[in-house]
Amino acid sequence: MLRIGNASGFYGDRFAAFREMLTGGPLDVLTGDYLAELTMLILARDRLKDPRLGYAKTFLGQLEECLGLAVDRGVRIVVNAGGLNPGRLAEAIGELADKQGIAVRVGHVVGDDLLPRAEEFGLPGGLLAANAYLGAWGIAECLRGGAEIVVTGRVTDAALVAGPAAAHFGWGPGDLDALAGAVVAGHVLECGAQATGGNYAFFREHDVTRPGFPIVELHADGSSVITKHPGTGGAVTTETVTAQLLYETGGSRYAGPDVTARLDTVRLTQDGPDRVRIDGVHGEAPPPALKVGLNRIGGWRNEVVFVLTGLDIEAKAALVRTQLAAALDPAPAEVRWTLARTDHGDAATEETASALLRLAVKDPDQKVVGRAVGTAAVELGLASYPGFHLSALPGPGTPYGVFEAAYVEARAVGHTAVLPDGATVAIPAPDITRELVPAEQPPLPEPLTPGPTRRVPLGLVAGARSGDKGGDANLGVWARTEDGWRWLAHTLTAELLRELLPETAGLAVSRQLLPQLRAVNFTLTGLLGQGVAAQERFDPQAKALGEWLRARHLDIPEVLL
């Protein structure tokens, strides 16, 4: 058995988690996931200021506290904190170790950086970062080469678990089921406390004041148990694990560089308090192409929020819009208004009597967005609706980023492991691949026998979790019981989803049934526009989309309530 813990789900996660995981109980490997689509843009801007940057600096601070502890306990560390500069982070770790008088062997993985090939993507001058999503084998080679710490750039999040597992159990590229099991376990771990009750739909059922971080006990056949250190907060249940399995996935084929894991084969079993067994995972050959994340600056954005208080909210909003339309000359390339009716009638406080009218603008020219918001909006201060004020004074505008995905042949990417002694090992692309096509939908379960219904929120009988994939949103919904699944599978169609979430009415919506998880998983194409960095939506990463859905009312069978 290999015991792997996680201490970071994003750049900015709980700093103390590294020490907590190292001192809370036995571990063989400690991982940390620091990279997301937005993080790569942040790191790219760091690198523009200083070519020696481009990595997650907080990891180095965590290691400064915990390096001796990890070495003393024999815990290997595998992180993607290298970001855009894994080689420099590896050097910085060596310098830190020398300063502390600790001997430690550091390996790193390179080859994901495709920025020198920007012309291939049709953006020769505009890209800030272009990174292929590498797999697990570079990590495995570093560990086999004696590394106690491995830092990578852009690898798939699950590779942080699959790499150590492959090295420990001696797996090869043909061990697809075992690799798929490790990928599924890695996906559960990658977002940290989201697997242990963080951001969980039924959070009131557990003490999630300070949830612990997850651990996976992996076995040679790829089966595993998800757990956490004893005495830590939160909970590990089949539902907390289901919620994370559905997060930011689409169809039942979950593709990666090393294996395509079939999510429709995942079997979850409660194996005791805070222990969930995962087994039955089937793996298929990976696709021949690697995903590449492209990050660029899209232009300039600015926004201002008008506070509308008391009576005539709609008329006040209309007046401001008319006044600004006349004043915006030249008009920004994109102008978006949203009115949030946060006001209440006969309110006891001014704040609860107020609504928020948000104006967001975008343009290639910073002066245009600065004039639209910083000048035109402010000039209305004594010449608009009664009670005029803003939530904050606007600034001159800020640059916004755009994330796009491209694909390149895996054979055209130089995935390389740099061992602790400086030797390099080229990682070959898979010999056997399989084009990624959607899996067939499984048959629907038997429908629930009709009976009396009550109009109540969906969230009384179903959980949900949602997130972003570039400009698309993912929304997974699961039923709490078998009868609930029989109702949910027949009721929550793509058509009904569009009715319940009117923002999605004009979008392509795909639905995937996952019977073993009692879940339906939706992909909402284009909901997030150009992605989180472009800030095109009130909830730009669709984090609360699932909670909005759970708050919508449906006619739900009373037998489920």
Task: Answer whether residue 91 is part of any domain.
Answer: yes
Same domain flag for 348 and 267: no
Name residue 252's amino acid: S
Which CATH number fits the domain that encloses residue 331?
Answer: 3.30.70
Evaluate the CA torsion angle 530, 535, 541, 547 in order and state its sign.
negative
- DSSP-assigned states of every residue in 101-145: T----EEEEE--B-GGGGGGGT-TTTEEEEEE-B-SHHHHHHHHT
Task: Answer whether residue 421 is part of any domain.
Answer: yes
- Domain stop point among 426, 461, 479: 426
Task: Answer whether residue 549 is part of any domain.
Answer: yes
- Phi, psi (deg, nearest 5) at residue 201: -55, -40
Same domain flag for 206 and 186: yes
Same domain flag for 382 and 420: no
**How far is the C-alpha of 221 from the C-alpha of 186, rounded, in Å?**
15
Minimal CA–CA distance to 474: which of 483, 465, 482, 484? 465
Cα-to-chain-centroid distance, residue 67: 28
Same domain flag for 259 and 131: yes
Same domain flag for 267 and 309: no
pTM: 0.95
Strand arrangement of the beta sheet that strand 106-110 belongs to: 267-270, 276-279, 224-228, 214-218, 2-6, 29-32, 76-79, 149-151, 106-110, 416-418, 424-426
For 492-553, where are the alpha helices, taking DSSP H only?
A: 494-500, 545-551
Same domain flag for 221 and 93: yes
**How far is the C-alpha of 39 from the C-alpha of 254, rounded, in Å?**
22
Task: Answer whether residue 444 is part of any domain.
Answer: no
Same domain flag for 44 and 169: yes
Same domain flag for 278 and 338: no
Query: For the chain, what is the domain count?
Result: 3
Minimal CA–CA distance to 509: which of 271, 250, 292? 250
Task: Answer whether residue 432 is part of any domain.
Answer: no
Same domain flag for 215 and 350: no
Task: Answer whether residue 434 is part of any domain.
Answer: no
Structural domain range at position 511: 453-560
Task: Answer whether residue 31 is part of any domain.
Answer: yes
**How far is the C-alpha of 340 from the C-alpha of 342, rounded, in Å?**
6
Per-residue pLDDT tens, the chain, 561 aa: give them: 999 999 999 999 999 999 999 999 999 999 999 999 889 999 999 999 999 999 999 999 999 999 999 999 999 999 999 999 999 999 999 999 999 999 999 999 999 999 999 989 887 677 999 999 999 999 999 999 999 999 999 999 999 999 999 999 999 999 999 999 999 999 999 999 999 999 999 999 999 999 999 999 999 999 999 999 999 999 999 999 999 999 999 889 999 999 999 999 999 999 999 999 999 999 999 999 999 999 998 999 999 999 999 999 999 999 999 999 988 888 999 999 999 999 999 999 999 999 999 999 999 999 999 887 888 999 999 999 999 999 998 889 999 988 989 999 999 999 999 999 999 999 999 999 999 999 999 999 999 998 999 999 999 999 999 999 888 999 999 999 999 999 999 999 999 999 999 999 999 999 999 999 999 999 999 998 887 777 778 888 999 999 999 999 999 999 999
Name residue 402's amino acid: V
